[in-house]
A and B are shown apart, each in its own frame.
Chain A
Amino acid sequence: MQILIGISILVALALLASSKRFWSWRRTRLGAMLTTGGWIMVGVGFAIGQHGAGLVLPQHLYVVQPLILFCLGWIGMMVGMQLHRSIFKQMPGVIWKWMGMDTVLSILVLGGAAWGGMLAAQAIGADVSIGGTVAVVSLAVLIGICGIGWSQEVRSLRRRGVANVSAMTIVRATGALTSIVALLVYGLWMTMFSHTTVEGGVDVLEVLVGLGLSVLIAVTMGGMGYWLMQIAGKGEGEFLVVLIGLVSFIAGAGATLGYSPLFIAMLSGVMIVNLPGKVFARFRRVILDAEQPVAMALMLVAGVLAEPEIGLLGLGIFVFVFLGRIVVKHVLHRRPLENALQSKGVGEILDGCMRQSPLAIALAAGYAISSFGEGQGGGMTGGEVIMVVVLLGLASEVWPFMMDGIGGRGKKTVTEKSGVKNRDGEKSPDGGAIVEGQM
């Protein structure tokens, strides 16, 4: 009966979400922030979850785990589909450099900060010994990976006076590309973690075979999808068969092998989007159009799984990583961004980059439903990791508001002095034209 009430709540929410009033509210700054970040659904998941009304419990989610994997596969494929080969020509070199810098800094600084937080928590009595050094390092790296990139939502930035089209491009396009990198690193991390012993040994051959297998499956299924879409023609039912079948199979294959369904699905997405012809145009459209409901479902799952009692350890990680995030996204990124835009007023844009990518919650949820998340590697369960990532996300969303309050900013306009030019010397349009989706 509980699950029925839970589903009824979901139906009511879906009805609410489809109302005109909700859609107009979404266009406000707060609405854009809350809906694009998925915080509402995280909150709802938490409210109906084990620490709220207790209507939907984690064990209920394990029953529908195939559906959760399907959602992860969908998100992975959507992220992979951003990487069309034309993007290499469209994107200016400065974005690639900046993206590389963000990735390295996030893993090193944020991962290091997480480690620092763990050590600090250990010093005042927290137990981080479970799983040994391997688990501690893995957890730190995971937190670092979750910190890569930023939210691609730009509507709230525009409302804060950031009128520069190039700035939008930078925030959206770099955010999208860093999502791909985040998934790539996450996939490599999960594959490596799968073949790591408690003593810290890594079977390199097994890791390579695992990676090879992942790429082989992704490429084969992507290529086969091309055939299948041709066979399906224009029939709606047949199209759905291919869509559901491919996403389920790819995500399921990844998870069955103990790797990340997000990773293999992303590789397939890259393969699919780069195949010639327009066979996949409809496929791509549907995948992108359904981003919101699929992402919302994952946020809901994250809310249900989130474990609020994070203890000293979680608190330590949160504080250290948040400070690390300010250093990376606000301090270290300032100079390269000023150079790229040839402007000094990049504060608002850096506030935008401060906001955590919604993908981070999908990564944490993917970790939590895997066997790694069921354990207590590094002293934290998957639910606690989700909670830390959610807190980091919320804090980073609140940051721009705090800055407005402290410095009275948000009125300035970043004017377009020169814009960012692509490799052919053409100005890039709004980031949305180059990349789609918010993950």
Chain B
Amino acid sequence: MRAVASLLLLAVVMWVVLWGREQGMDVAESLKAPTALMCGFIVLGAWLTGRVFDLVKLPKISGYLLFGLLAGPSFYELIAGDETGESVLPFLPREGVKDLVFVKDLAIALIAITAGGEIKFDWLKGQLGTVVVLTLAAVIGVGAVIGAILAGYQSVFGIIDVSQGGGMVTVVVGLALLSLIASGNSPAVAIAMISEVRADGPMSRTTLAVTVCKDLLVIVLFAVFIGVGKGVLDENTAVGGGFLFAVAVQLLGSIVLGAIVGVLMAILVGRMKEHLVFMVVVVCFMLALIGEVHFTLMGQEAHLKPLLLALSAGVAMRNWLPNESAPLFHLVEHKSLPVYCMFFAVAGAELDLSVFTNPTVVGSVVTVVLARVLVLWLVIGWVGKRLKLDESWRGKFWLCLTPQAGVTLALITILAGAFKGQHWAEMLVALLLGVVAIHALLGPVAYRWALVSSGEAWQVESESEDNSDVDVTHTPATEV
């Protein structure tokens, strides 16, 4: 009850502050003060909503996302029925959400380090074949089948709108990008959910390994698809050896530099001790900033990938210097909750609900969602059977690959930027945002159910369970 009351009280105080500002009390318009206010609001609000969700056996992550969605601009615009949302006071205005990008960058790096730390070469060696086959099936197999289904749908309803320009090539490029993005899933949700339900077992480990490998493959293929797509649709953009070289350098450079950063971090862990939190935060910021540094390679603009840098750093630390880096992973594991709360709440606030006001787009969104779910179930189920995966989790594994969130949204943003001003691309982006919104909210529910029903949840002892003197009145059931 206290969590619900606190949540309501928080909303009231936030509303009072925003009301005060609306009344002209704020004389500091140039100040970024609302960003600090919003950080506090979303971290507390998302956490409390997560607690309420936990009470009703729903994933906390869905609570964080839903809080962000309800506090974000899209929800208010939907209520107000216009693009400004001015008739209703939004908790998180659109500009404010943009200001929170630095939080997201930080979170992505931290989550990627954690994910990298979960990949152990010893385990991977024995499962390499399984992971590779599942990854290829989940990206190429699922993507191809979704593409085939949507091509059929395209011929009847026109999912890629080329009415205002473009031809068959545009449709092919659009469907290829749509299918590829639809095949992806969220590494952030994968790692956060395993942490939330303290899961351990073959399914959660396979999920993590496949998700990370998938992510890598999707990023590579996406870069290629975007490059080729721009090359064939835009006469001014040529696709050649230079482009492929730039992509290769970006990916390999990110992996190599990330590994170096990881080794350095592991060496520094022992020296930093009390300042470990500081070191982790600064390194994550640095990784995010490195991604912002653009350079030119053989005439192609390039930049390193923060996600890969951080992932590679995590893998290097865990596998090359496991003892030295152990305190760092312990710290990240036990203190990353605020980061998860902020990351998923911001991801929720970024979701665009306006697509659901357009019946044509809604029809396409529902079709893509159904196609994705169906194909995941069929393809992963079939491949799992061929690989003779354990029956106790084989039938549920596909559910672990359903959530989508931050990385997918980032890919959609890149897509929107790459084909800016082209009608078909704008419609495709709207469609994809709708698809991600549904999978972001419902995917974690399915994933959690799969982990719990397979018996892999609650296998890792929690920090609070280690404390024998924990006040029982502080358990979630009695708090809410």
Which A residues are closer than 8 A to B by beta carbons?
1, 3-4, 7-8, 10-11, 14-15, 17-18, 62-66, 69-70, 73, 194, 206, 209-210, 213, 216-217, 220-221, 224, 227-228, 230-238, 240-242, 244-253, 255-258, 261, 293, 369-372, 374
Known: A7-B289, A217-B16, A235-B463. A253 touches B338 (CB 8 A): no
Q: Is A252 a contact partner of B36 (Cβ separation < 8 A)?
A: yes
Known: A1-B293, A4-B293, A206-B25. A255 touches B31 (CB 8 A): yes
* Nearest B residue to A191, CB-CB: B25
Cα distance A370–B29 in the bound complex, in angstroms: 10
5 pairs of A and B residues whose beta carbons are closest in the complex: A249-B40, A252-B37, A237-B337, A248-B40, A255-B33
Knowing that A210-B20, A258-B27 are A-B contacts, what are 11 other residue pairs whose CB atoms are under 8 Å apart, sorted by A's residue number? A11-B279, A65-B31, A237-B335, A238-B47, A244-B338, A247-B40, A248-B39, A249-B13, A256-B37, A257-B17, A371-B29
Cα distance A196–B206 in the bound complex, in angstroms: 64
Contacts of B17 in A (CB 8 A): 217, 253, 256-257
Cα distance A250–B338 in the bound complex, in angstroms: 17
B158 within 8 A of A: no
Cα distance A110–B274 in the bound complex, in angstroms: 40
Q: Is A257 a contact partner of B25 (Cβ separation < 8 A)?
A: yes
Could you give, for residues 6-17 of chain B, a 1 whenever the CB lies within 8 Å of some chain A CB and a 0 otherwise? Answer: 100110010011
Known: A217-B17, A231-B51, A258-B28. A252 touches B38 (CB 8 A): yes
Contacts of B2 in A (CB 8 A): 227, 230-231
Known: A7-B285, A237-B336, A241-B44. A258 touches B37 (CB 8 A): no
* Nearest A residue to B342, CB-CB: A244
Q: Is B32 a contact partner of A66 (Cβ separation < 8 A)?
A: yes
Cα distance A230–B13 in the bound complex, in angstroms: 20
How near does chain A come to B436, taking the closest CB pair, in angstroms?
A: 26
* Nearest A residue to B276, CB-CB: A18
Contacts of A240 in B (CB 8 A): 335, 337-338
B290 within 8 A of A: yes
* Nearest A residue to B474, CB-CB: A233
Q: Is A14 a contact partner of B43 (Cβ separation < 8 A)?
A: no
Contacts of B41 in A (CB 8 A): 245, 249, 252
* Nearest B residue to A250, CB-CB: B40
Residue of A62, A228, A233 ringed by the most chain B CB atoms within 10 A: A233
Could you give, for residues 266-292 of chain B, a 1 whenever the CB lies within 8 Å of some chain A CB and a 0 otherwise? Answer: 001001111100110010011001100
Contacts of B234 in A (CB 8 A): none
Q: Is A213 a contact partner of B338 (Cβ separation < 8 A)?
A: no
Contacts of B99 in A (CB 8 A): 66
B382 within 8 A of A: no
Known: A227-B2, A233-B474. A15 touches B289 (CB 8 A): no
Residue in contact with A293 in the complex, picked from B35, B47, B278, B471, CB distance below 8 Å: B278
Which B residues are closer than 8 A to A by beta carbons?
2-3, 5-6, 9-10, 13, 16-18, 20-21, 25-41, 43-44, 47-48, 51, 99, 102, 268, 271-275, 278-279, 282, 285-286, 289-290, 293, 334-338, 341, 462-464, 467, 470-471, 474-475, 479
Contacts of B335 in A (CB 8 A): 236-237, 240
* Nearest B residue to A67, CB-CB: B36
Q: Is A231 a contact partner of B282 (Cβ separation < 8 A)?
A: no
Known: A256-B17, A257-B25. A66 touches B39 (CB 8 A): yes
Q: Is B279 a contact partner of A237 (Cβ separation < 8 A)?
A: no
How near does chain A come to B61, taking the closest CB pair, in angstroms?
A: 14
Q: Is B27 a contact partner of A235 (Cβ separation < 8 A)?
A: no
Contacts of A257 in B (CB 8 A): 17, 20-21, 25-26
How near does chain A come to B465, taking the closest CB pair, in angstroms?
A: 10
**A and B contact pairs by CB, cutoff 8 A, 12 listed:** A7-B289, A11-B282, A18-B273, A63-B102, A65-B33, A234-B467, A237-B335, A240-B337, A241-B43, A241-B44, A245-B43, A293-B275
Q: Is B40 a contact partner of A246 (Cβ separation < 8 A)?
A: yes
Contacts of A233 in B (CB 8 A): 464, 470-471, 474-475
Q: Is A4 a contact partner of B290 (Cβ separation < 8 A)?
A: yes
Could you tell me the dominant secondary structure of chain A's interface residues? helix
Q: Is B336 a contact partner of A70 (Cβ separation < 8 A)?
A: no
Cα distance A69–B474 in the bound complex, in angstroms: 31
How near does chain B come to A82, taking the closest CB pair, in angstroms?
A: 23
Contacts of B474 in A (CB 8 A): 230-234
Cα distance A351–B17 in the bound complex, in angstroms: 44
Q: Is A4 a contact partner of B51 (Cβ separation < 8 A)?
A: no
Contacts of B20 in A (CB 8 A): 210, 213, 256-257
Residue in contact with B28 in the complex, picked from A10, A220, A227, A371, CB distance below 8 Å: A371
Q: Is B30 a contact partner of A14 (Cβ separation < 8 A)?
A: no
Cα distance A18–B48 in the bound complex, in angstroms: 36
Q: Is A248 a contact partner of B29 (Cβ separation < 8 A)?
A: no
Contacts of A4 in B (CB 8 A): 286, 289-290, 293
Contacts of A206 in B (CB 8 A): 25
* Nearest B residue to A63, CB-CB: B102
Q: Is B36 a contact partner of A70 (Cβ separation < 8 A)?
A: yes
Q: Is A220 a contact partner of B44 (Cβ separation < 8 A)?
A: no
Cα distance A217–B18 in the bound complex, in angstroms: 12
Contacts of B35 in A (CB 8 A): 65-66, 252
Q: Is A3 a contact partner of B289 (Cβ separation < 8 A)?
A: yes
Cα distance A63–B26 in the bound complex, in angstroms: 20
Residue of A62, A65, A241 ringed by the most chain B CB atoms within 10 A: A241
Contacts of A224 in B (CB 8 A): 6, 9-10, 13
Contacts of B34 in A (CB 8 A): 252, 256
How near does chain A come to B454, taking the closest CB pair, in angstroms?
A: 25
Q: Is A231 a contact partner of B3 (Cβ separation < 8 A)?
A: yes
Contacts of A230 in B (CB 8 A): 2, 474, 479
Contacts of B10 in A (CB 8 A): 224, 249
Cα distance A245–B67 in the bound complex, in angstroms: 15
Contacts of A372 in B (CB 8 A): 28
* Nearest B residue to A17, CB-CB: B275
Q: Is B464 a contact partner of A235 (Cβ separation < 8 A)?
A: yes
* Nearest A residue to B290, CB-CB: A4
* Nearest A residue to B29, CB-CB: A371
Contacts of A369 in B (CB 8 A): 31
Cα distance A257–B268 in the bound complex, in angstroms: 42
How near does chain B come to A394, taking the closest CB pair, in angstroms?
A: 27
Contacts of B334 in A (CB 8 A): 236-237
Residue of B13, B34, B286 ringed by the most chain A CB atoms within 10 A: B13
Residue in contact with A248 in the complex, picked from B36, B286, B464, CB distance below 8 Å: B36
Residue of B17, B29, B32 ringed by the most chain A CB atoms within 10 A: B32
Contacts of A14 in B (CB 8 A): 272, 275, 278-279, 282
Q: Is A244 a contact partner of B9 (Cβ separation < 8 A)?
A: no
Q: Is A252 a contact partner of B467 (Cβ separation < 8 A)?
A: no
Contacts of A235 in B (CB 8 A): 337, 462-464
Q: Is B37 a contact partner of A244 (Cβ separation < 8 A)?
A: no
Cα distance A194–B20 in the bound complex, in angstroms: 13
Cα distance A232–B2 in the bound complex, in angstroms: 11
Contacts of B464 in A (CB 8 A): 233-235
* Nearest B residue to A248, CB-CB: B40
Q: Is A249 a contact partner of B282 (Cβ separation < 8 A)?
A: no
Cα distance A3–B290 in the bound complex, in angstroms: 10
How near does chain A come to B480, taking the closest CB pair, in angstroms?
A: 8
Contacts of A236 in B (CB 8 A): 334-335, 463
* Nearest A residue to B293, CB-CB: A1
